[in-house]
Amino acid sequence: MGIALYLEKLLKNAGIPTYLTRSKDEFVYLENRTNFANQKNGFVFVSLHANSVLNHRPSAEGIETFLLSSKYIGASARDVADRENRASRAHPEVDTDLALIIADLEESANIKYSFDFADIIQKKLVEYLKLENRGIKQAPFVVLKGANMAAVIVEVGFISNPKEEKLLKTNKFRENAAQALFEAIKYYVENTPDNGE
């Protein structure tokens, strides 16, 4: 939450409209986060997380950025997607074939923008935080599905790694992460005039 609050301040000070899906440590369903971004007509959607590994490998480290795909692309993509998607709830409604086709077309149009956005974010975070570059990966994340804009999940370090867990708790690390994200978002917003619209 700390990184998001620092980032919000930087973006608002730069005149970039900014909305948080939550402003305190509370649970919000994944689908509601995406719907909120769509209702606000967001230009980008960034879901911030601290990574962890299920088998408690303390040696896992670094930064990785994810975008939507129907397949798992990249090492660890399945583990991260499975963990993140647990916060989803089942959709009671059944989409029609036409709605599914339209959604697929919209999402595929946003994949290129999401990849470009993820690339900028990943480079800036690695530059600022000096952590291992775990790369850009793709997976079927619920929180990214249906986003009408460039949408990414950013895993900023591992809470299962003792060294990175300590870093994640420091204001300096959070401020640096927010600064890197701010620069990435600002660059993307200024250099992507239509974002697929």
Q: Which residue has the tokens 């946003």?
A: 110
pLDDT at 167 over 90: yes
39-92 per-position pLDDT tens digit: 999 999 999 999 998 776 778 999 999 998 877 777 677 777 777 776 565 443
Q: What's the mean pLDDT in 127-132? A: 98
DSSP structure class, residue 26: -
CB 33 within 8 A of CB 140: no
Determine the residue type at 154.
V
1-48 per-position pLDDT tens digit: 899 999 999 999 999 999 999 887 788 878 889 999 999 999 999 999
The predicted pLDDT at position 79 comes to: 76
Q: Which residue has the tokens 């999401």?
A: 114
| Bridge partners, residue 66, by sequence | 137, 153
pTM: 0.85
Residue 98 pLDDT grade (very low, low, confident, very high; cuts 50, 70, 90): very low
CA angle, 112 then 121 then 83, to 5°? 85
- Collapsed DSSP state (helix, strand, coil) of residue 55: coil
Count of C-beta atoms within a 10 Å radius of residue 27: 7
Closest Cα to residue 113, out of 86, 150, 81, 63? 150
Domains of the chain: 2-191 (3.40.630.40)
pLDDT at 103 over 80: no
| Bridge partners, residue 48, by sequence | 154
